[in-house]
Amino acid sequence: MDLLEHQAMRLFAAHQVPVPAGEVAASPSAAGAIAARLGGATVIKAQVKVGGRGKAGGVRLAATPSAAVACAAEILGMEIKGHRVREVLVASASDIVTEYYLAFLIDRSAREIIAMFSESGGMDIEQVPASSIVRTPIDPGLGPPADAFPADVAPVAAKLWDVFIASDATLVEVNPLIVDAAGRVLAVDGKVTLDDNAFFRQDFSDISTSPEDPSEARAASLGLNYVKLDGTVGIIGNGAGLVMSTLDVVAGAGARPANFLDIGGGAGAQVMADALSVVLDDPAVKSLLVNVFGGITACDAVANGIIQALDRLGDAVTRPIVVRLDGNNAAAGRAILAAAAHPMVSLVDTMDDAAARAAELGKA
């Protein structure tokens, strides 16, 4: 579960990580009132769970409370990579002298926890050469080695490590971690991903972990593993590995996936119907690819779920659906869909061909 920036900053503060003063506002007038209470210049920051906010115009400096009102009015309601801004963080502006990048994360391919650090942090971190980002493996029993960070950063890094371990996080990232004109080291931004599987032993009652996107909230209420992305091709599959592969193949075919949705193993017709409904509720979706390899999940159940959803949605189904079924009861599933002969559904035999077809339709 990803946290919004203001939630991450609250978590940081609870572990004595220095952060700028700030509050959340859902209206321009509230942003102006917060700016007045903080005094001095403020930064108005869109609260969405995607990167690139600054380049999209979602982070702005306001010299006065009235400027904060104007900035908030421009940011609230805007869309950043498909995510609508419903709140802004109004934070005290910092006099930045130095910007660093620092992160702790689980490197699943290497099966280890690593620290990543660069002396070139900030908005253009993606352009920083990989050679300038130092990756340090960490023994979770010992914590970060003493020489992993510059001396002025090390005390704050130790507190961020405490956040990572105590919160069962899979990622704690600060970009930038700054040194201000007074020599203070501050986390002026924060990204935290929590391990959902560890929630049973965590108390996040003071930090809402509910999705801010309505589609994600609805999917969560239905028990679906859904993440909204910023593309136009909806994706439904069974098994995280297959869904991730499908995202890659669609991207390779020249289109951007609109979501990640894993119906899991053993999903029945109702789950399939719920999944289809959630994806088609996204107005950004121009086409939908259902890619199922039948194992525990039988392809005839998937087909019945598609028919149920189509019947329920009726005339609301105005975008093409490409279906690829293989494995357990695939022939029966294809026969069910062929017999239904829905004008918006097309059957494709292979994963590559299905992705190419969905990508073509998604760019229309």
Residues carrying an active site annotation: 101, 173
Single out the residue of 351, 123, 103, 140 nearest to residue 246, CA to CA: 351
- Cα–Cα distances in Å, from 136 out to 87, 144, 285? 36, 8, 40
Phi, psi angle pair for 330, to nearest 5°? -65, -40
Give one DSSP letter per residue of 200-222, joined into a string.
Answer: GG---TTS--S-SSHHHHHHHHT
Residues in the chain: 364
Other Cβ atoms within 10 Å of 163 Cβ, number: 22
Phi, psi angle pair for 127, to nearest 5°? -90, -5
